[in-house]
Amino acid sequence: MVVPAAAAAASSIAPMAGSALINEALIAYGYVATWIGLSSGVILFNKYILSFFGFPFPISLTMIHMCFCSCMAFLIIRVFKLVNSNDLDRQTYVQKIVPVGALFALSLWLSNTAYVYLSVAFIQMLKALMPASVYTVGCLMGIEQFTYARLANMFVITLGVCIASYGELNFHLLGVLIQLASVCAEAFRLGLVQIILNSEKLKMNSITTLYYVSPACFVFLLIPFTFLEVPRYLDTNTEVNTSQPHILFLNACTAFALNMAVYLLIGKTSALTMNVAGVVKDWLLIFISSALFDAPITKLQLFGYGISFVAVCYYNYSKYKDREKAMSMPKIDAKSEDGANSSSTEREMNAKA
């Protein structure tokens, strides 16, 4: 009688466990879909505002995002106390967070400025250079190990982007240089973030990152804003759409919602899932933006980006296998545990539109 009872209990538990796994998977994929939608939406929304809405001020748009995100993060952390603030001291903030904020401000400013000159599809293709840029900066900073195999991988990525650039019909040299500068600034930011996380053992999610970094970004953006965009505001010949401020407010809300999606996504998925989701997002953006903004894509561009795409996928896979190998090592001390924790934190700080 005991054996049948145990079998019956096991048979009743199995469907429940299967149902729980299905529900968990559906929730995780829901977070992934939300992140892809919001990330793509922010990029397309920014392109619309800067190129078609009548607000060609990338610095101002970035400052609006930083101001709104700072206010919302303050409410979440200080007023409603939904997230722990970590309470950084002034010295740590000035020495560690402010430099990250400066590079983040430069990266966002240049990235948004590129939308004025280039199509969204072409910008996404240029962003495929990010792994090569991050690897180069990492080698210079001593946080990446140089290997000829990795160098060959970076060469293939760069070759694919060069082919895609050659096939671009609306090539704009200034826009390309601005986007490449944005990629370099972002690479230095990510390298600095990795050094800070490993040395200071700071554990910051996307909300606390907004709380500390966004105000610093806003202050740094005041400098180029004063010299580059204030004169344009004062110029009577510059047409500015001021009749629909709710559009800018909605854009800021979308940018903040993206950061909230990152906060939720990190807790439900892995680094590999985010990398795969990012690849899916890039392809969607290329074709959707081409249709929305009437930006033609040539076969040569798709061929070049296809080369970079395969090389980037291989790079992500090799990095994942390296991390998996490091995590499976039998001897795990406190330093390695901190490194494992910091990788999750780093993914949150790295995530942006």
pLDDT digits (tens, 9 = 90+) for 265-313: 776 666 567 777 888 899 999 999 999 998 999 999 999 999 999 999 9
Output the pLDDT for position 332. 46
Q: Decide if pLDDT at 83 tops 70.
A: yes
Q: Give the residue with greater pLDDT, 23 vs 336.
A: 23
Residue with token string 């949150």: 348
Answer whether residue 171 is part of any domain. yes
Residue 294 falls in which region: left (phi positive, over 0), alpha (psi -120 to 50) or beta: left
Answer whether residue 51 is part of any domain. no
* Closest among 304, 301, 300 to 289, alpha carbons compared: 301
Q: Decide if pLDDT at 259 tops 60.
A: yes
Long-range contacts of 225-228 (CB under 8 A, 24+ apart): 225/59, 225/60, 225/63, 228/59
Q: Decide if pLDDT at 52 tops 50.
A: yes
Confidence of residue 340 (pLDDT cuts 50, 70, 90): very low
**Backbone CA torsion sign across 270, 28, 123, 100:** negative
Query: What domain range is 230 assigned to?
Result: 58-238+246-323
Answer whether residue 44 is part of any domain. no
Q: How far apart are CA 117 and CA 186, in angstroms?
A: 19
Contact 241, 299 (CB under 8 A): no
Instruction: Tell me the helix, strand and coil percentages in the chain, rounded to 5.
Output: 80, 0, 20
Q: What does the DSSP 8-state code read for residue 52?
A: I
Confidence of residue 203 (pLDDT cuts 50, 70, 90): confident
Answer whether residue 288 is part of any domain. yes
* Closest among 182, 151, 196 to 349, alpha carbons compared: 196
Answer whether residue 46 is part of any domain. no
Answer whether residue 307 is part of any domain. yes
Q: How far apart are CA 177 and CA 9, in angstroms?
A: 66
Output the pLDDT for position 22. 78
When divided into structural domains, the chain yields a total of: 1
Encode pLDDT of 155-199 as tens digits.
Answer: 999 999 999 999 999 999 999 999 999 999 999 999 998 887 666
- Contacts (Cβ under 8 Å, ≥6 apart) of 36: 277, 280, 281, 284
Burial of residue 281, with CB atoms counted within 10 A of its CB: 0-12 exposed, 13-18 middle, 19 or more buried: buried
Q: Decide if pLDDT at 19 tops 80.
A: no
Answer whether residue 43 is part of any domain. no
Answer whether residue 7 is part of any domain. no
Q: How far apart are CA 328 and CA 239, in angstroms?
A: 59
Q: In whole angstroms, how large is the CA radius of gyration of the chain? A: 22
